[in-house]
């Protein structure tokens, strides 16, 4: 994706030890369609909010990852074992598992083996926070890099719908909570920010077609990058049928519904235009098991013919840490702190939603005007949540885990 970055030269000074460093803070204004990480560059916002939920995503497949990694061919001890994290954000989600992975592989191949870890994300990703985490300036979670020799960390600011690293170069790669984001938003809806019961057949078809094309494209790019015998682990947010109601549901549905409700009220009240409401569309698609398996179940598909083989696919329910914290405080201390629940939940999930609302607003508005409107939205959503029963937002996150090998 080719973009132009509008950069305002606002400089701030950070005290690091005894050194004063001048840091350029960039603002991306009036550029349609760009994902903007929420929070100040280098402040580790993602890991300190949403990362508290995401870090647990790896746990259900942790032992499987460590076991499979030892089966990856690596015979030339003078070469480098390459590991990659796609959709890495600030590195907080994968820090612990990569530390364990590196320790396992060092034990398996010898302490002198060299490792290269490549973190991929969009061009505008907060790589500043990533490297602050790696160096220990942001200390939580602890960086594996501080305790290991012969480990080298790099970043790739390349959209993962393109090839990000040289062909036949990666031994192990992982992507958690990323591939639901599409390469483009294929449709708009007059009624909702994401598909719902009012979505037309045409809208649904366009969305799922784009998701199918992007999933195949993502896999083909990774197949090109993987070495023979290499492993790809993908974690996918799941769409599913509710066992109790039979209703088709998806991850974070209640929160998205609340965002939609308040944003629609803004349109009716004239805070935003009807066109701005329509232009605000979440550019992702949550998939079910059949959809993620499809490229592998067809032996003649481009993905299968590229050499990728599905070793396993399973759905796991991950606990909602924000709900569990609220519930534990209520049960053990007798404190029903709904305000804190709403604050934590909203601040965490603003990470992935903020940019969509900014992009939906007209470019005739100034950056300051856009920020005021979106700030107001999340304040109103948080207030409304604090008056609601957290049970409504309990979202034990259904996740599909795929283990894939390049034959």
* 297-301, Cβ contacts within 8 angstroms, sequence gap of 24 or more: 301/216
Token couple for 250: 């998806």
Distance CA 295, CA 304 (A): 7
Whole-angstrom Cα distance, residue 235 to residue 399? 6
Give burial (CB, 10 Å; 0-12/13-18/19+) of 49.
buried
The predicted-structure confidence for 177-213, as pLDDT tens digits, reads as follows 999 999 999 988 888 999 888 889 999 999 999 999 9
Copy the structure tokens of residue 318: 């991950």
Query: Could you give the CA distance from residue 162 to residue 37 in angstroms, rounded to a whole number?
Result: 20
In this predicted structure, which of 14-18, 244-248, 258-262, 349-353 has the lowest mean pLDDT?
14-18
Pairing relationship of beta strands 308-318 and 397-406 according to DSSP bridges: antiparallel
Please tell me the distance from the alpha carbon of residue 59 to that of residue 67, in angstroms, as a whole number. 14
pLDDT at 18: 32
Do the Cβ atoms of 219 and 295 come closer than 8 Å?
Answer: yes
CA–CA gap between residue 313 and residue 127 (Å, rounded): 31
On whether the CB atoms of residues 232 and 178 are closer than 8 A, the answer is: no
Query: Using N-to-C axis directions, what is the helix angle for 289-297 and 201-225, rounded to 10°?
Result: 50
Length of the chain: 407
Q: Count, in order, helices (H) and strands (E) of the chain.
A: 13, 11
Distance CA 379, CA 375 (A): 6
Residue-level pLDDT at 77: 67
User: What Å distances lie between residue 371 and 37, 187, 193, 323, CA to CA?
Assistant: 13, 25, 19, 28
Among residues 285, 278, 256, the alpha carbon closest in space to that of 189 is found at: 278
User: Which residues, in sequence order, are bridge partners of residue 115?
Assistant: 81, 151
Residue 282 pLDDT more than 70?
yes
Adjacent-strand bridge partners of 284: 181
58-98 pLDDT per residue, tens: 899 999 999 999 999 998 766 899 999 999 999 999 999 99
Q: Is the pLDDT of residue 21 over 50?
A: no
pLDDT in tens, 316-327: 988 889 999 999
24 pLDDT higher than 50: no
* Residues 169, 82 contacting (CB under 8 angstroms): yes
- C-alpha dist (Å) from residue 301 to 216, 235, 323: 9, 21, 41
Token reading at 49: 């909010």
CATH class of 10-406: alpha beta
Average pLDDT rounded to a whole number, residues 277-304? 96
CB count within 10 Å of CB 26 equals 14
What's the whole-number mean pLDDT along residues 17-22? 31
Least confident among 23-37, 78-92, 139-153, 343-357: 23-37
Q: Does residue 17 have a pLDDT over 60?
A: no
Q: What is the pLDDT of residue 48?
A: 87
Calculate what percentage of the chain has a pLDDT beyond 70.
Answer: 90
**Whole-model pTM?**
0.89
Q: Would you state the structure tokens that stand for residue 151, as one six-digit string?
A: 């480990």
């Amino acid at each position: 994706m080719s973009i132009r970055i509008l950069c305002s030269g606002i400089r701030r000074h950070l005290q690091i030890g005894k050194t004063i460093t001048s840091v350029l803070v960039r603002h991306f204004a009036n550029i349609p369609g760009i994902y903007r990480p929420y929070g100040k560059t280098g402040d580790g916002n993602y890991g300190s909010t949403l990362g508290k939920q995401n870090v647990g995503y790896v746990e259900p497949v942790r032992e499987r990852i460590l076991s499979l990694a030892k089966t990856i061919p690596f015979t030339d001890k003078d070469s480098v074992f390459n590991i990659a994290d796609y959709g890495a954000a600030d590195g907080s989600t994968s820090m612990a598992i990569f530390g364990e992975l590196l320790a396992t592989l060092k034990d398996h191949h010898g302490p002198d083996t060299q490792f290269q870890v490549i973190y991929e994300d969009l061009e505008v990703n907060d790589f500043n926070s990533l490297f602050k985490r790696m160096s220990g300036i942001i200390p939580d979670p602890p960086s594996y890099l501080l305790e290991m020799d012969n480990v080298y960390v790099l970043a790739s600011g390349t959209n993962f719908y393109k090839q990000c690293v040289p062909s036949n170069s990666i031994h192990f790669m992982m992507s958690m909570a990323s591939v639901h984001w599409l390469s483009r938003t294929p449709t708009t809806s007059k009624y909702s920010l994401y598909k719902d019961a009012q979505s037309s057949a045409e809208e649904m078809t366009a969305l799922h077609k784009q998701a199918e094309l992007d999933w195949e494209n993502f896999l083909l790019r990774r197949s090109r990058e993987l070495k023979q015998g290499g492993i790809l682990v993908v974690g996918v947010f799941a769409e599913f049928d509710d066992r109790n109601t039979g209703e088709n549901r998806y991850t974070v549905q209640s929160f998205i519904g609340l965002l939609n409700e308040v944003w629609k009220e803004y349109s009716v009240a004239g805070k935003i235009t009807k066109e701005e409401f329509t232009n605000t569309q979440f550019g992702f698609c949550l998939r079910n098991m059949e959809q993620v398996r499809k490229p592998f179940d067809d032996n003649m598909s481009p993905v299968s013919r590229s050499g990728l083989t599905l070793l396993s696919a399973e759905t796991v329910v991950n606990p909602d840490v924000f709900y569990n914290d609220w519930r534990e405080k209520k049960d053990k201390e007798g404190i029903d702190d709904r305000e804190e629940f709403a604050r934590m939940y909203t601040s965490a999930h603003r990470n992935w939603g903020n940019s969509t609302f900014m992009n939906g607003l007209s470019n005739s508005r100034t950056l300051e005007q856009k920020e005021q409107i979106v700030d107001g939205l999340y304040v109103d959503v948080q207030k409304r949540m604090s008056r609601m029963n957290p049970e409504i937002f309990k979202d034990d996150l259904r996740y599909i885990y795929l283990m894939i090998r390049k034959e």
